[in-house]
Amino acid sequence: MTKPETVYVTYIAAKPEQVWQALTSGEFTKQYFFGRRMESDWKVGSPWTLWMEDGRVDCQGKVLESDPPRRLSMTWHVEWMEEFRRLPPGVVTFQLDALGDVVRLTVMESHHESIDEKYKEGGRRGWPVILCGLKSLLETGRPLPPFDMSA
Amino acid sequence: MVMHVDRVFKALADPSRRRLLDWLHARNGQTLGELCEDLDMTRQAVTKHLALLEAANLVATVWRGREKLHYLNPVPIHEISERWIGKYERTRLAALSALKKGLEERNDD
């Protein structure tokens, strides 16, 4: 395993199957992932796409590991900005550990080829927001209210 | 949830633990050995602080072979800020709505 560059953890009062569904279904992701829809059949080797609301592709990649509802790993390529398209893809892995009535969700991001720090800023700002939104959605049925990310 | 927030504040209320987080912020994914080398603290002290930070979910750990790597996990800090940002916004909205109501009533006079 390549050493992850960033690791994010959140504990969610839900079943692993619910967390898995919230991560892999567009109906759920659009409620907490900045309006984006995640789509794939989630089979190893299959492509996945994160769609923006206006139909543009935000990110895409291939499924590397798929073990529902425990582990999902994929290559991750940012498409929506020109300068990101030239970069080698990163790898994002979701690990779900059931601990009684709670799921520990770990998100790990790694890069086989090193990329400039400035390209990692979006992920650093984005993942905590996304994970809080996911937790809020599963625990209260409501996503977090929208707010300005640059603030 | 309340207990969890208490743990986060308790973990952050110590300068050595904040320094550990600063250090992980500068270089994420360090082993205990690396952290002890760079910070002028005993191995015992670093171990104790890391355990408290991990219990508060401010530090996330990943095993890579026999190495335990430590990462700064900003998610609980975001959860806390979210809680109060939401409240301030609601207060501001309530104040605006009261102002609007007051002004409109005066117009009616």
Q: Which sequence spans correspond to the domains of chain B?
A: 2-108
Question: Do the domain assignments include residue A150?
Answer: no
Question: Do the domain assignments include residue A148?
Answer: no
Class of domain B2-108: mainly alpha
Question: Do the domain assignments include residue A84?
Answer: yes
How large is the ipTM? 0.85
Coil/strand/helix, residue A39: strand
**A147·B79 Cβ contact <8 A:** no
Regarding beta strands A47-51 and B67-72, do their DSSP bridges make them parallel or antiparallel, or are they unpaired?
Answer: unpaired
**What is the count of structural domains for chain A?**
1
| H/E segment holding residue A108 | strand A102-110
Question: Do the domain assignments include residue A145?
Answer: no
Kindly state the greatest CA–CA separation across chain A: 44
Q: Domain with A112 in it: what CATH number?
A: 3.30.530.20
| H/E segment holding residue B63 | strand B59-64
Beta strands in A17-145 (DSSP E): 37-39, 47-51, 57-67, 71-78, 90-99, 102-110
Question: Do the domain assignments include residue A1?
Answer: no
- Model confidence band, residue B93 (pLDDT cutoffs 50, 70, 90): low
Q: pTM (2 decimals)?
A: 0.84
Contact residues, chain A, for B78 at CB < 8 Å: 128-129, 131-132
Could you report the per-residue pLDDT of B17-75, keeping only the tens digit for each?
999 999 999 999 999 999 998 888 899 999 999 999 999 999 999 999 999 999 999 99
Handedness of CA B67, B37, B50, A128 (dihedral sign): negative
Question: How far A51 CA sits from the closest chain B CA (Å)?
Answer: 24
Question: Do the domain assignments include residue A128?
Answer: yes
Q: Which residues 9-48 on chain B approach chain A with CB closer than 8 angstroms?
A: 28-29
Is the pLDDT confidence value at B1 over 50?
Answer: no
